[in-house]
Amino acid sequence: MKKYLVSARKYRPSTFNSVVGQKTLTATLKNSIATDRLAHAYLFCGSRGVGKTSCARIFAKTINCMNRTPEGDACNECDSCRAFNENRSLNIIELDAASNNSVDDIRALVDQVQIPPTTGKYRVFIVDEVHMLSQAAFNAFLKTLEEPPAYVVFILATTEKHKIIPTILSRCQIYDFNRITIQDMVDHLTYVASQEGIIVESSALNVIARKADGAMRDALSIFDQVAASSMQNITYQSAIENLNILDYEYYNRLLDAFLAQDVPQALLIYKEIREKGFDSLFFVNGLAAHIRDLMVARDPKTLCLLEASDEARQSMAALAVRCTPQFFYKAMALCGDADLNYRTATNKQFLVELLLIKLCQLLSPSPIEAGDGEGQLKKIAPANTPQQPKPIVVAPVQPVASAPAPQQPVVVSATPISSRPVPPAPMAAVSNRPLGPKVPRLSLKTGLKQAEEAVKTTIQPRNRNNQFSDDAIDIAWETYISSHPTAHILVNTMRTARPKRLDGTRFAIMVENKGQVEMMTDSLPDIISYLGNQLQNDFITFEIVENQGESSPYVWNQREVYSHMLQNVPHMQEFVKRFELSLS
């Protein structure tokens, strides 16, 4: 009984013409052999299963053939070819660098280099996965690789060229192998199926080719697996079931739900997919890939980017015209965000369902999340960021004539207030122009007359100059603090930095560090606007001073706070003693 041989070995290329998907590269190698212009070292680079080692063996066999065919291939009849075919050739030595990566292994290889060939013209050393050699092994290999004997040819193969040191790269002719296209794999699998007497559907071979991800060896292995499970009758359904691939029909049904804005239907389809055992991340990536394929299929110019059969391309092109390019762009962005956030999400099912809901809303009148559309939620501003009024243009409104307010600086100084009779020259200025009260946001459905009246009633003159006392500004200052309970850092800073009048409407604020200087500088426009409305004065200005002397008297440490509470809080001492508390 003849022993079964897997397709990846049985249909391994034996000539340059039988190598799948590398026509340009194999033509170059054949020309170099025909003209007898052989390099002493070659480096074959590419992903797994694209034919690097196969081409190295074909090359080694061909250069030693004594009677090459007119096409430049080995004759398979001479002593050298027969020895190669029977795996007993002494002129072709293969070394797996993944398991033989030490200096001693390379030294043994160098010793073999000194032995001339017994038959044929060349001794060929094929070093697979050469990037696995250690640094010391690379260095031990350099001299021999640069100046080998005339009868020696080195062929190095690697999947990770970037890991090879530059001194090795500079000594080799480098050949980059392409990934095998889906069409090339389908054609080769069709040939293999015809040789094996297996009935196949072209759509099933397309599924296998996509699953192989550019590797012909993987495609042949998957082909054997599906053929065994389907009893030599490979159908599309048997392929997707055996390979655990999500049928495109699900994605097309989801697209219908997106276009119809049918959120319940999209969630039910996702539930059906989960019940079939598909991982949610696998589903998200598959949906993103399907949307991408539809996008490139929509435009005839980019249809060539879709790796599929002509029939599949036409089918996807007909489906893609139902959507706009903007829909595809936004959908791809949402899928990308979901893929990025999936690994850190606590509730992964919720994340995917939220993605489907957003995709269903892409064609709604206000699909954006910026809060600018009718009926959209407004963004939540950070707690420490003052809210700026957003102007609404409803109709030309004549502004109230007013004198321009003088611009006063906010100065950051390094000297205490008490030690300087006259404030120093301004270093950093912040405009004291009042921002005015916030204008309420009006719906576009509001009548024009009502909008004009609302805007007119909110416009206040900007030349208010009411006189006020120090107590009045302290009260307004405390009121502002009370109205911002969530801005903890700003509130704590304002509690310890009370305004001190310099003259007229100019006040100074002393803070403890540069961080507080920056925060108060950013918050001053909102503070000035608030105080101006409370005190009916539009000419209030502040100078921010960083304390460079002793600590502020308003800041207590823990022990001072504790002493104060013992003296002023009734029963505090009894409470501490009873629960045996201490200040850590």
Cα separation, 93 vs 127, in Å, equals: 8
What pLDDT is attached to residue 366? 55
For 234, the 3-state DSSP assignment is strand
User: Do 52 and 146 sit in the same domain of this protein?
Assistant: yes
Cα separation, 132 vs 127, in Å, equals: 10
Confidence of residue 550 (pLDDT cuts 50, 70, 90): low
* Residue 39, pLDDT above cutoff 80: yes
Confidence of residue 349 (pLDDT cuts 50, 70, 90): very high
What pLDDT is attached to residue 396? 41
More confidently predicted of 340 and 378: 340
Strand order in the sheet with 152-158: 92-96, 123-128, 152-158, 41-45, 173-176
Q: What radius of gyration, in Å, describes the C-alpha atoms of the chain?
A: 39
User: Do 167 and 42 sit in the same domain of this protein?
Assistant: yes
User: Do 141 and 20 sit in the same domain of this protein?
Assistant: yes
The angle formed by the CA atoms of residues 168, 173 and 176, to the nearest 5 degrees, is: 100
Q: Which of 213-217, 282-286, 372-376 has the least mean pLDDT?
A: 372-376
User: Do 88 and 34 sit in the same domain of this protein?
Assistant: yes
Q: At what angle do helices 23-34 and 52-63 cross, to 10 degrees?
A: 20
Q: Which of 562, 519, 563 is nearest to 544 (CA)?
A: 519
The structural domain count of the chain equals 4
Confidence of residue 427 (pLDDT cuts 50, 70, 90): very low
Q: Which of 511, 363, 504, 389 is nearest to 442 (CA)?
A: 389
* Residue 387, pLDDT above cutoff 60: no
* Residue 452, pLDDT above cutoff 80: no
The C-alpha torsion from 98 through 103 and 105 to 108, rounded to 10°, is: 150
User: Do 84 and 163 sit in the same domain of this protein?
Assistant: yes
Beta bridge partners of 94: 126
DSSP 8-class letter at 510: E
Q: Domain for residue 436, yes or no?
A: yes
User: Do 19 and 142 sit in the same domain of this protein?
Assistant: yes
Cα separation, 493 vs 19, in Å, equals: 74
Identify the residue whose tokens are 């105080």.
531
**What is the average per-residue pLDDT within 480-484?**
86
* Residue 473, pLDDT above cutoff 50: yes
Q: Are strands 199-200 and 233-234 parallel, antiparallel or unpaired?
A: parallel
What pLDDT is attached to residue 582? 75
Task: List pLDDT tens digits, range 168-198.
Answer: 999 999 999 988 888 889 999 999 999 888 8
What pLDDT is attached to residue 450? 55
Cα separation, 314 vs 347, in Å, equals: 39
545 membership: H or E segment, kind and range: strand 541-546
DSSP 8-class letter at 132: G
Q: Which of 63, 207, 173, 71 is nearest to 122 (CA)?
A: 63
Q: Domain for residue 55, yes or no?
A: yes
* Residue 405, pLDDT above cutoff 60: no
Q: Domain for residue 376, yes or no?
A: no
User: Do 68 and 150 sit in the same domain of this protein?
Assistant: yes
* Residue 395, pLDDT above cutoff 50: no
106 membership: H or E segment, kind and range: helix 103-113
Q: Domain for residue 367, yes or no?
A: no
Sequence-distant (6+) residues with CB within 8 A of 213 are 179
Q: Name the residue range of residue 256's domain.
A: 248-360
Task: List pLDDT tens digits, range 134-176.
Answer: 999 999 999 898 889 989 999 999 999 999 999 999 999 999 9
What pLDDT is attached to residue 237? 85
Cα separation, 485 vs 490, in Å, equals: 9
What pLDDT is attached to residue 421? 44
User: Do 138 and 22 sit in the same domain of this protein?
Assistant: yes
Beta bridge partners of 510: 545
User: Do 343 and 448 sit in the same domain of this protein?
Assistant: no
What pLDDT is attached to residue 564? 78
* Residue 358, pLDDT above cutoff 90: yes
DSSP 8-class letter at 503: E
**333, 360, 387: which is the final residue of a domain?**
360
185 close to 217: Cβ distance less than 8 angstroms: no
Identify the residue whose tokens are 């081409």.
55
Sequence-distant (6+) residues with CB within 8 A of 570 are none
User: Do 75 and 144 sit in the same domain of this protein?
Assistant: yes
Q: Domain for residue 394, yes or no?
A: no
Q: Are strands 41-45 and 123-128 parallel, antiparallel or unpaired?
A: unpaired
Which two three-digit tokens encode residue 174? 């480098």
Q: Domain for residue 326, yes or no?
A: yes
Q: Domain for residue 54, yes or no?
A: yes
Task: List pLDDT tens digits, range 62-77.
Answer: 998 888 888 888 888 8
For the entire predicted model, the pTM comes to 0.57
* Residue 1, pLDDT above cutoff 80: no
Q: Which of 187-191, 283-287, 571-575 has the least mean pLDDT?
A: 571-575
Concatenate the DSSP letters of all residues of 285-310 into one string: HHHHHHHHHHHHHHSTTTGGGS-S-H
Identify the residue whose tokens are 């509470």.
565
Q: Which of 86, 97, 152, 99 is nearest to 125 (CA)?
A: 152
User: Do 498 and 351 sit in the same domain of this protein?
Assistant: no
Q: Which of 128, 152, 159, 163 is nearest to 54 (CA)?
A: 128
What pLDDT is attached to residue 270? 93
Residue 277 falls in which region: left (phi positive, over 0), alpha (psi -120 to 50) or beta: left
What pLDDT is attached to residue 433? 45
Confidence of residue 555 (pLDDT cuts 50, 70, 90): low
